[in-house]
Structure 1
């Protein structure tokens, strides 16, 4: 759940590859025609992106291979230098920051997890997780205490002395996640962190990720090409195509109200029950005695077992507050295409 404050703001961000790209962009103005850029031998990997990431939310960027999602995220942290635009992090324009300032921001305020774990093979789990703190100059007792705390948080207590080669793929990725959390980042970037894993392990780590977020409430930018993964994790999703953002919204908004033909086709096969949240169907009223309750962000699919078990209604609550109930009839109307 977000606070409503904006942590990261992108305004008209471009990444253009090719000779003298910045000069050509400056000459063509703030909204150059991609066709004109192509005529000049330039490739627009990211074009005219406007995004806002709110504090405490999981913001998913998704798209097919080559859509520009990984390039965009690397621009957000300036691992790749944007060609044009503005990127504000807590009000600071990152494109105006010096390289030394960016290094400090990445070390102290940003965490990053990528598809390939990049663990240091000669170091134990404990030393791998503590490594970013060592880079910061934190004394060994303090950094090891912090590392043990995070290792336990990701479910690897007892494996502190193991080396990466002694761990499964899922365990290695947990170490990567723990290492990125060691510095207590304000902003957490994850680039397809689970895509190299077997489906069962991937599902397990998604569950673990949801559990971690419920405790840590980080601001997260998460890249995936898997819509099922996106709708499980996301508060909001941006769908990219050819370097631009086609639509940004909640999973429910994207499926129920696609803004373009591309988004409509992209989401066509997604069952409504997987994306429509109970909060959209709730009927306010007093709490019936003995009713089972689900969180407001739970989907219609999550409520399925209760209805299959004979319940006529389920309760909906948010942070301990009872919001109302959702009835079987409302669910049936939704699934039959009657809307909400």
Structure 2
């Protein structure tokens, strides 16, 4: 099922005389540097194609001058593309007239800027409802929507305050509430947190992720900060010199960098705060509870292991048994239930590697990875965690189907 909400097709933005001709020259292989030298044309965005899906936080990142802010401003035509298509729900924004474009900006695509851009003479509530006021929304309705948006961003009860009575983080929340009040399909955020202090910025990142989980909004987030991108992004588009270098999930960026530039970009990332249990887990060896000690011991011998997980028919984890206990049970006639260790350590697939150290170092039996239904999906050995942090994130065996 195609859940694409915004599609960018071969979009370029060139500045200077003869920009349209410059696009043709790019297609013929001329470089950004050649166009600047020979034609006095500046390439802001160079033939970018990407899709943005419903309900994701899509991060566009890159260093200063990479073209990320130019690209996001083309998504609502604050900057006019030189060439290409930008499709919202399949409709090309470049073909819309001014009235249609205004309607899109009012109802479909809202934007939150780096600077809070609040009206100092208006209350927090009046700032939050400003976009609805421009849309000529009924006064009672717009107040209800604005109050609901303020509550979503944690500012319930602050509506009567003036902007200068709020901290920087709270002012940015008002800007976010103003964008949310119009209930847009897409929220564009251009370096929205970069003016905040580090601790406030981190709190805002967490709140944005929580907000997105609740509202399932499509958010396009611009940043130059890799840690921020990895922290909040479902997918990341990395740009350099106006071109798209790599598009993928945070994990794909870290484990499968497209080229040396991406490798250098991510080389200082703390993998323990990004990679998860799903990256290092292996296929678990298991047996169902109705099998006896003899079958279990045979399986351990064939597979060269000293522990075996015990599951039910629905593959839910019941516990783990050891080779020593199983051999003893075979001699005494005991059943697997008699030797089952039920309090063995477990983690979810999204547990960060940094949180696995203590568990794996103290565990006497293998670390089981289970899903929300307690279904066994993988096993983690101590060496796999250390190997992942050293850069080896290739799974030797696929997890249990």
CA distance in 2, matches of 1:292, 1:141: 54
Specify the SS of the correspondent of 2:212. Answer: helix
Is contact 1:291–1:315 with CA below 8 Å preserved after alignment?
no
Decide whether the 8 Å contact of 2:238 with 2:246 is kept in 1: yes
**Separation in 2 of the partners of 1:130 and 1:316?**
45
User: Any conservation in 2 of the 1:8–1:89 contact (CA below 8 Å)?
Assistant: yes
Q: Which residue of 2 aligns with 1:98?
A: 97
Q: Distance in 2 between matches of 1:292 and 1:137?
A: 58
1:107-147 deviation line (CA, Å, top 9, x unaligned):
00112111101011111111111111111111111111111
1:14 match: 12
Superposition CA RMSD, Å: 2.3
Higher RCO structure, 1 or 2 (CA under 8 Å, sep 6+) = 1
Partners in 2 of 1:199 and 1:235 — Cα distance?
Answer: 22
Q: Does the 8 Å contact 1:287/1:324 carry over to 2?
A: no
Task: Give the drift of 1:290.
Answer: 5.6
When residues 298 and 183 of structure 1 are mapped into structure 2, their CA distance, relative to the original with a 3 A threshold, is farther
* Aligned CA distance change for structure 1 residues 310 and 123 (closer, same or farther; 3 Å): farther
Q: Kindly state the Cα deviation for residue 279 of structure 1 after the two structures are TM-superposed.
A: 3.1
Counterpart of 2:386 (choices 325, 332, 337) is 332
Distance 1:32 1:321, change over 3 A: farther
CA 1:220–1:308 in structure 2 vs 1: closer, same or farther (change >3 Å)? farther
2:100 is paired with a residue of what secondary structure?
A: helix
The structure number with the bigger radius of gyration is 2
TM-score, normalised with respect to structure 1: 0.91
Query: TM-score, normalised to structure 2's length?
Result: 0.78
How far residue 25 of structure 1 moved from its aligned partner, in angstroms, is 3.6
Q: How many residues align?
A: 336
Distance in 1 between residues matched to 2:139 and 2:345, nearest whole Å = 49
Q: Distance in 1 between matches of 2:177 and 2:347?
A: 30
CA distance in 2, matches of 1:138, 1:106: 15
Aligned to 1:317: 371
**In the TM superposition, what are the counterparts of 1:150-161 in structure 2 within 5 Å?**
150-161=149-160
> Which runs of no fewer than 5 residues in structure 1 stay unpaired?
none
Deviations 1:227-279 (A, max 9, x none): 11111101111111111111111111111111111111001111222332333
> Retained in 2: the 8 A contact 1:25–1:32?
no
**CA gap 1:106/1:335 in 2 versus in 1, 3 angstroms:** same
CA gap of 1:102–1:306, structure 2 versus 1, over 3 A, is farther
Equivalent pair of 1:303/1:314 in contact (CA under 8 Å) = no
Q: Output the CA distance in 1 between the equivalents of 2:225 and 2:63.
A: 9
Q: Distance in 1 between matches of 2:254 and 2:29?
A: 31
| Corresponding residue number in structure 2 for 1:287 | 317
Runs of 5+ in structure 2 lacking a partner?
Answer: 285-314, 319-341, 395-401
- Are residues 100 and 339 of structure 1, via their aligned partners in 2, closer, same or farther at CA, if it must alter by over 3 Å? same
What residue in structure 1 maps to residue 229 of structure 2?
230
Distance 1:304 1:212 in 2: 30
Contact 1:151 1:157 (C-alpha < 8 Å) held by counterparts:
yes
Cα distance, 1:18–1:300 mapped onto 2, change above 3 Å: same
> How far apart, CA to CA, are the structure 2 residues paired with 1:257 and 1:27?
32
The 8 Å contact of residues 25 and 84 in structure 1, kept in 2 or not, is answered as no
- Paired with 2:60 and 2:252, the residues of 1 have a C-alpha distance of 15
- Checking the alignment, whether the CA contact within 8 Å between 2:60 and 2:238 is kept in structure 1 is yes
CA distance in 2, matches of 1:92, 1:291: 54
Counterpart position of 1:46: 45
Local SS of the residue matching 1:14: strand
In the superposition, relative to structure 1, how do residues 103 and 308 fare at CA in structure 2: closer, same or farther (>3 Å)?
farther
